[in-house]
Chains A and B, each alone.
Chain A
Amino acid sequence: MNATIDQLQDAVRRVRDTHQYVLENRRTEAVIKALADAAQSWLPASSPWRAQAVEQAPAVTGFSPAMVNEAIDRMFGAITADSLGALLDRELGDRRVLDEFRPHGRAQARAFGAPVIVHLLAGNVPPPGIHSIVNGLLVRSGNVVRMSQNDTVFPKLFVESVRAADPDLAMCVELLEWPRNDAALTQAALAKADAVIAHGDDSTIAALRRLATSQATFTGYGQKVSFAYVCREAMTPEQLPALAAAAAEDVSIYDQQGCLSPHVIYVEERGALGPRKFGAALAEAMAAFQARIPRGKLSMEEAAAINTTRSGYEFRSASDRRIAVWSSLQSNDWSVIYEDDPSFVPSCLNRVVFIKPTDGERRVLENIQRHATRISTVGIAPMSERMTEFAKQLAGLGIHRVCPIGQMQRPPLWWFHDGKPNLASLVRWTELG
């Protein structure tokens, strides 16, 4: 149901008023508790929120019911009183600055959440949207949220679970739907926003930035790709099965549609086992993951993209020993493509991953340099002094996050999403003294 301009303006007014009420009647500890209680209420197998999400989300998001369950465990498992408090302490210095003036050098300072944040969500991968809402509530702002047509289920159910924990706090969120390309409606929503958080492709974010007022702080989260790097030390028969399982998880979660999903895994040559062995082990792990958490349904275009990619490499692999393909039999559930060519190739997504041998970090840096501004996360196995040096070079290229393989899809709540602090743009400060 698309919102009208009147409904949008009413929503903005309502959240501004409720924000004022909550600001005066809640302390940060109470907000943390309500959000943590809401998140934790998703976790039991008998949770009504979980049941509703598993029932409704597959049709809207395209994910399998098992993937929806997995998303719930990961996403809400990470939202605890401890992690929420830590997020505030790390980013604002002290969680109580949202409640009162606190020492700030020789003076004192207090932070106030933006009265109205407009969140423009995109896509079907749930965590960015849920985190956006959590951040807005954490600083006790009013939140107007445009949901993505690919995921209306998680935001709605999450706000309901917040309502069960604290009805007033939930009143600080208004969830709406309107078409992405309706500039008049978007402009009406943005007209009185104090902060804007936009998710989407680069052109969408650029367009939204133009529509936002100069008074509003604007944070844009664009689309990104990720990759992984396996050192020769990890290529031993003892370590390989667990490493492959960790990599399969990173590739397969959210059917590779997230910005943290690896497209390419570089594997160093001259280990006890060669890079090809990693391909074979990963194929086994992809099959095991598929058995546990099946990939979701594909559109015709997505299926065609997999068919085209796979058949191209399969054809070449018959006569070219530098190429090998492992894939699910009789289906397009997953594909592992080994190619002896160091260039970074983006995947067609939906569990299609490239394995590329490499003689070292330098070659990889050369090959990803061109795409560096579009890369979110680099997964590494194992972390070592040498890899810390590599991470510094990646940081120099502007890459936002380096973490162990297996953790790519588990960023902590306080991670710098796309290299940015989460709360800084949502608060203003007053100094005293």
Chain B
Amino acid sequence: MKTALQLQHRIAAFIGGARDDFDALALEVFTFQFERNTAYRAFCERKERTPDRVAHWTEIPAVPASAFKQLALTCFPPDDAVVEFHTSGTTQACSGRHLFKTLELYDAAITPNFNAHLFPDGARMPLLSLVPDDPHSSLAYMIRKLGARCIERLEPGNEPVCVLGTAFNFLKLFDEGIQLQLPAGSRAMETGGFKGRAREVTKPALYEMFEKHLGIPPTHVVNEYGMTELSTQFYDATMRVGHRSDVKHAPPWARVRVIDPQTDEEARPGVPGLFRIYDLANLWSVMCLQTEDLGVADGDGFVLFGRAPGSSPRGCSLNAEALSVA
């Protein structure tokens, strides 16, 4: 246990800004998880990617996000979990669970990353959240940890504010006809898509609505990409670069690779694929996660694609999604 805690402290320091070596840490975390997570170990052995054969972090086997639906995937006895977050599970019957032995790394990863992307100008302002509190929502936890105040209604005021919510929370607000001119410098963080919702809008249309309904220009709306199965969030660079940018960058303790779904290897530059995310803050579960999200690499960052609306199957067979909706 001593080594585990040492590893945890080392990653916490890395998240806190200490210099360290991602590659070396990733291999150590892999060895740790291989030894303690039975299901993951069996999978690595099946793939013949065991710690003695893995020389580089990119060779670490990825755990498919769907595995969280059936398995606890912890490096500790699941009964010892201090908290568990649940996925929304909109398109599958059962939702996934991410269990935490400690929230030390999770907590450490939240604030510096958020501030770097929402307040690169060093501004300080109240955080207001449209997300309903829920003990099993990782998003609600993150927002609570940031010190945001949950609000039912957005009121006009004299001081700039930062409003946090899901894209759907905001759309609901706009559909209700809210009309505010929030003070200059106000900003917003929106996250998530419209999966399983009756109404869908494109992101550019959504950003125009922020300006129309709240007076927040598109240059002050940041998109967050987070997953229940991870401990680190990703934000687009809009506020940092001063104009709308869909490019997100991983913080030093995480990496994102784009995987060609045809070959399961890294996609060639500019070719879209599935994100495979390496997150050292996921020390007590699984560090390397294969997501179901499509996007493309952009320089040293990445761009998440929205779900293609109205993309229908080519033939006359129903696909899983259509059948589950029926």
Question: Are B316's CB and A224's CB within 8 A?
Answer: yes
Question: Are B308's CB and A254's CB within 8 A?
Answer: no
* Cβ-neighbour of B314 out of A150, A314, A319 (below 8 A): A150
Interface residues of B in 115-129 (CB under 8 A from A): none
Indicate whether A123 sits within 8 Å of B261 (C-beta atoms), given known contacts A307-B274, A316-B67, A318-B39: no
Q: How far is the CB of B324 from chain A (nearest CB, A)?
A: 8
Indicate whether A123 sits within 8 Å of B313 (C-beta atoms), given known contacts A300-B294, A312-B67: yes
Indicate whether A346 sits within 8 Å of B323 (C-beta atoms), given known contacts A258-B315, A315-B63: yes
Interface residues of A in 327-366 (CB under 8 A from B): 330-332, 345-349
Name which residue of chain B comes closest to A371, CB basis.
B323
List B contacts of A257 (CB < 8 A): 313-317
Q: How far is the CB of B74 from chain A (nearest CB, A)?
A: 14
Question: Are A318's CB and B67's CB within 8 A?
Answer: no
Indicate whether A125 sits within 8 Å of B316 (C-beta atoms), given known contacts A318-B39, A318-B45, A319-B42: yes
Question: Are B64's CB and A300's CB within 8 A?
Answer: no
Question: Are A124's CB and B64's CB within 8 A?
Answer: no
Indicate whether A303 sits within 8 Å of B318 (C-beta atoms), given known contacts A225-B323, A374-B326: no
Name which residue of chain A comes closest to B45, CB basis.
A318
Interface residues of B in 29-82 (CB under 8 A from A): 38-39, 42-43, 45-46, 62-64, 66-67, 70-71
Interface residues of A in 49-87 (CB under 8 A from B): 61-62
Name which residue of chain A comes closest to B264, CB basis.
A307
Interface bits B299-326 vs A (CB < 8 Å: 1, else 0): 0000000001001111111111011101
Question: Are A303's CB and B261's CB within 8 A?
Answer: yes
Name which residue of chain B comes closest to A254, CB basis.
B315
Q: How far is the CB of B198 from chain A (nearest CB, A)?
A: 12
Question: Are A128's CB and B316's CB within 8 A?
Answer: yes
Question: Are A306's CB and B261's CB within 8 A?
Answer: yes
Question: Are A303's CB and B38's CB within 8 A?
Answer: no
Interface centre among B66, B262, B326 (most CB of A within 10 A): B262
Q: Indicate if B166 sits at the interface (CB-CB under 8 A).
A: no
Interface bits A304-324 vs B (CB < 8 Å: 1, else 0): 111110011011111110000
Q: Indicate if A91 sits at the interface (CB-CB under 8 A).
A: no
Instruction: Give the interface of B toward A (CB within 8 A).
Output: 38-39, 42-43, 45-46, 62-64, 66-67, 70-71, 259, 261-264, 272-274, 290, 292, 294, 308, 311-320, 322-324, 326
Q: How distant is the Cα of A202 from the Cα of B318 in the complex, in angstroms?
A: 10
Name which residue of chain A comes closest to B63, CB basis.
A315
List A contacts of B318 (CB < 8 A): 223-225, 259, 346, 374
What are 28 pairs between A and B in contact, CB < 8 Å? Answer: A122-B316, A199-B316, A223-B317, A256-B315, A258-B316, A259-B317, A259-B318, A298-B262, A304-B274, A306-B261, A307-B261, A307-B262, A307-B264, A308-B274, A308-B290, A312-B67, A314-B43, A315-B43, A315-B63, A315-B67, A318-B43, A346-B318, A346-B319, A346-B320, A347-B320, A348-B319, A371-B326, A374-B326
List B contacts of A317 (CB < 8 A): 46
Question: Are A308's CB and B313's CB within 8 A?
Answer: no
Name which residue of chain B comes closest to A125, CB basis.
B315
Question: Are A374's CB and B323's CB within 8 A?
Answer: yes
List B contacts of A347 (CB < 8 A): 320
Q: How distant is the Cα of A265 from the Cα of B251 in the complex, in angstroms?
A: 46
Q: How many A-B residue pairs have CB under 8 A?
A: 129
Indicate whether A300 sits within 8 Å of B320 (C-beta atoms), given known contacts A308-B66, A312-B64, A318-B45: no
Indicate whether A123 sits within 8 Å of B314 (C-beta atoms), given known contacts A308-B292, A374-B326: yes
Indicate whether A348 sits within 8 Å of B320 (C-beta atoms), given known contacts A308-B274, A318-B42: yes
Question: Are B274's CB and A201's CB within 8 A?
Answer: no
Indicate whether A300 sits within 8 Å of B70 (C-beta atoms), given known contacts A128-B316, A259-B316: no
Question: Are B64's CB and A201's CB within 8 A?
Answer: no
Interface centre among B294, B313, B315 (most CB of A within 10 A): B315
Task: Beyond A128-B316, A312-B66, A374-B326, list 16 extra A-B contacts (CB 8 Å).
Answer: A123-B315, A124-B314, A258-B316, A300-B272, A304-B292, A311-B290, A314-B64, A315-B43, A316-B67, A316-B70, A319-B38, A330-B263, A332-B262, A345-B320, A346-B320, A348-B319
List B contacts of A304 (CB < 8 A): 261, 273-274, 292, 294
* Cβ-neighbour of A349 out of B45, B274, B319 (below 8 A): B319
List B contacts of A178 (CB < 8 A): none
List B contacts of A258 (CB < 8 A): 315-317
Q: How distant is the Cα of A312 from the Cα of B68 in the complex, in angstroms?
A: 10
Q: How far is the CB of A287 from chain B (nearest CB, A)?
A: 18
List A contacts of B263 (CB < 8 A): 330
Q: How distant is the Cα of A312 from the Cα of B312 in the complex, in angstroms?
A: 23
Name which residue of chain A comes closest to B262, CB basis.
A303
Question: Are B317's CB and A256's CB within 8 A?
Answer: yes
Question: Are A223's CB and B290's CB within 8 A?
Answer: no
Name which residue of chain A comes closest to B312, CB basis.
A201
Indicate whether A301 sits within 8 Å of B64 (C-beta atoms), given known contacts A199-B316, A259-B317, A346-B323: no
Name which residue of chain B comes closest to A373, CB basis.
B326
Q: How distant is the Cα of A249 from the Cα of B273 in the complex, in angstroms?
A: 30
* Cβ-neighbour of A315 out of B38, B64, B264, B317 (below 8 A): B64
Question: Are A349's CB and B313's CB within 8 A?
Answer: yes
Q: Indicate if A221 sits at the interface (CB-CB under 8 A).
A: yes
Interface centre among B42, B272, B320, B323 (most CB of A within 10 A): B323
Q: How distant is the Cα of A225 from the Cα of B320 in the complex, in angstroms?
A: 10
Q: How distant is the Cα of A150 from the Cα of B312 in the complex, in angstroms?
A: 11
Q: How far is the CB of B312 from chain A (nearest CB, A)?
A: 6
Q: How distant is the Cα of A172 from the Cα of B277 in the complex, in angstroms?
A: 58
Q: How distant is the Cα of A149 from the Cα of B256 in the complex, in angstroms?
A: 36
Q: How distant is the Cα of A225 from the Cα of B315 in the complex, in angstroms?
A: 11
The 10 closest A-B pairs by CB, nearest first: A257-B315, A312-B66, A307-B261, A303-B261, A319-B42, A318-B42, A318-B43, A311-B64, A346-B320, A318-B46
Q: How distant is the Cα of A128 from the Cα of B315 in the complex, in angstroms?
A: 10
Q: Indicate if A252 sits at the interface (CB-CB under 8 A).
A: no
Question: Are B71's CB and A316's CB within 8 A?
Answer: yes
Q: How distant is the Cα of A256 from the Cα of B71 in the complex, in angstroms?
A: 30
Q: How distant is the Cα of A319 from the Cα of B38 in the complex, in angstroms?
A: 8
